[in-house]
């Protein structure tokens, strides 16, 4: 999946780096420092403090005073018909002057070539929208179990070759930590106002680009941007429960199909191998199946620099992902809300 991308540019169009930040005092300094160290010179960096109750605004302002490319603004009160992040991104886009808008999260850390590489790839492919799979940092057991599933899904299931090599691909894929979109395309469909309450805003933005005949490019971003999604089991459970059902199209039937297919492909082989060993029957077929799963996970762990040990716990990773998916379905069916950063998100 690693890609050698030509990212030399004859000129550097203005890029507006847009950062929604709510209660990000632990992350915003590292994010801004990494963005001020870019090899791409024509940048404006805009941080929107989304009504934080910590020191996000003060830290951002302090860094902004030292760098003329950084502008920090205060977010307006959240309207009742918007989700928090979507409203923050819409406000940021109204302030942007660049040809390209780069939406990135406050907990990301960028390598010095991240913007240049992304803009170069987008310009080369005549893209309207570019996103990437970043390097995912995982420290606790729940993070390590779940993040390996993200790697697996985006490499083994999503048609990467179609996306990578067909510049006219309309596959609607996006990842919120890094989304580069041409401003002309963004305003063609009205920006975030076209998806005020969409929880999975990254995929929603990609769908809007697709619906407007835009060109989508996907990169492997593990060598130029990284982040840590969540810090403990509760955050993993709540965070992914918030958007898992949306990720499968809010389809109960599709969710059940995913559970059945995942059981027979990724869990049943282990039961089959155990049963064959206990009954002294031939273990050739289940052993090959399990060995292939191990090999696949080890290759992914090596590529994404994730835990080799946790790559051996693939059935438990699948079970955790399916449990989160079913919890997301439950929340949707019963009209429940999830609290995230002191705001409540209805799962519908």
**Domain identity same for 288 and 186:** no
Tell how many helices (H) and how many strands (E) occur in the chain: 14, 10
**Domain identity same for 340 and 191:** no
| Assigned domain for 151 exists | no
Rounded Cα–Cα distance for residues 338 and 348 (Å): 11
**Above 60 in pLDDT, residue 311?**
yes
Domain boundary (228, 262, 291) is at 228
| Assigned domain for 221 exists | yes
| Assigned domain for 237 exists | no
- CB 144, CB 310: distance < 8 Å: yes
Cα 324–326–331 angle (5° rounding)? 95
Query: Using 50, 70 and 90 to split pLDDT, how confident is the model at 2?
Result: very low
User: What are the structure tokens assigned to 233, written together?
Assistant: 């089991």
**Domain identity same for 197 and 98:** yes
Q: How high is the pLDDT of residue 52?
A: 93
User: What are the structure tokens assigned to 115, written together?
Assistant: 């913007």
Range of the domain at 285: 252-346
| Assigned domain for 244 exists | no
Domain boundary (228, 260, 282) is at 228
**Domain identity same for 186 and 270:** no
Q: How high is the pLDDT of residue 158?
A: 60
Q: How high is the pLDDT of residue 3?
A: 46
Q: What is the pLDDT of residues 230-258, one digit of tens each?
A: 889 999 999 899 888 888 888 899 999 99
Q: What is the pLDDT of residues 205-229, one digit of tens each?
A: 999 999 999 999 888 888 899 999 9
**Domain identity same for 205 and 318:** no
Q: From the centroid of its chain, how far is CA 186?
A: 19
**Above 50 in pLDDT, residue 339?**
yes
Give the residue among 48, 338, 344, 86 at the shortest CA–CA distance from 197: 86
**Domain identity same for 83 and 179:** yes
**Domain identity same for 216 and 257:** no
User: For residue 102, what is the domain's CATH number?
Assistant: 3.90.550.10
| Assigned domain for 166 exists | yes
Residue 15 pairs with which residues in a beta bridge?
43, 100
**Domain identity same for 292 and 206:** no
**Domain identity same for 65 and 214:** yes
Q: What is the pLDDT of residues 51-67, one digit of tens each?
A: 999 999 999 999 999 99
């Amino acid at each position: 999946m690693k890609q050698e991308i030509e990212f030399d540019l004859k000129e550097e169009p203005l890029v507006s780096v847009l950062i929604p930040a709510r209660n990000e005092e632990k992350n915003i300094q590292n994010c801004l420092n990494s963005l001020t160290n870019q090899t791409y010179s024509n940048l404006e960096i805009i941080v929107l403090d989304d009504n934080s109750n910590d020191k996000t605004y003060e830290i951002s302002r302090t860094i902004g005073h030292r760098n003329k490319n950084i502008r920090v603004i205060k977010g307006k009160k959240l309207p009742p018909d918007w989700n928090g992040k979507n409203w923050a991104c819409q406000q940021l886009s109204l302030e942007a002057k660049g040809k390209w808008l780069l939406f990135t999260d406050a907990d990301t850390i960028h390598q010095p070539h991240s913007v240049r590489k992304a803009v170069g790839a987008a310009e080369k492919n005549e893209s309207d929208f570019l996103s990437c799979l970043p390097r995912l940092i995982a420290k606790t057991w729940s993070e390590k179990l779940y993040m390996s599933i993200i790697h697996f899904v985006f490499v083994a299931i999503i048609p990467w070759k179609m996306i990578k090599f067909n510049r006219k691909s309309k596959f609607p894929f996006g990842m919120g930590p890094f989304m580069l979109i041409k401003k002309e395309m963004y305003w063609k469909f009205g920006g975030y106002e076209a998806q005020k309450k969409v929880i999975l805003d990254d995929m929603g933005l990609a769908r809007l680009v697709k619906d407007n005949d835009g060109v989508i490019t996907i990169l492997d971003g593990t060598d130029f941007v990284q982040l840590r999604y969540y810090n403990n089991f509760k955050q993993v459970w709540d965070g992914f429960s918030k958007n898992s059902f949306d990720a499968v199209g809010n389809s109960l039937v599709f969710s059940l199909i995913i559970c059945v297919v995942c059981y027979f492909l990724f869990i049943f082989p282990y039961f089959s191998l155990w049963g064959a060993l206990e009954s002294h029957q031939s273990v050739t077929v289940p052993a090959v199946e399990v060995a292939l799963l191990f090999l696949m996970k080890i290759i992914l762990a090596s590529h994404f620099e994730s835990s080799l040990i946790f790559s051996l716990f693939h059935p438990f990773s699948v079970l955790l992902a399916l449990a989160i998916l079913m919890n997301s379905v439950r929340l949707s069916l019963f009209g429940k809300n999830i609290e995230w950063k002191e705001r409540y998100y209805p799962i519908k």
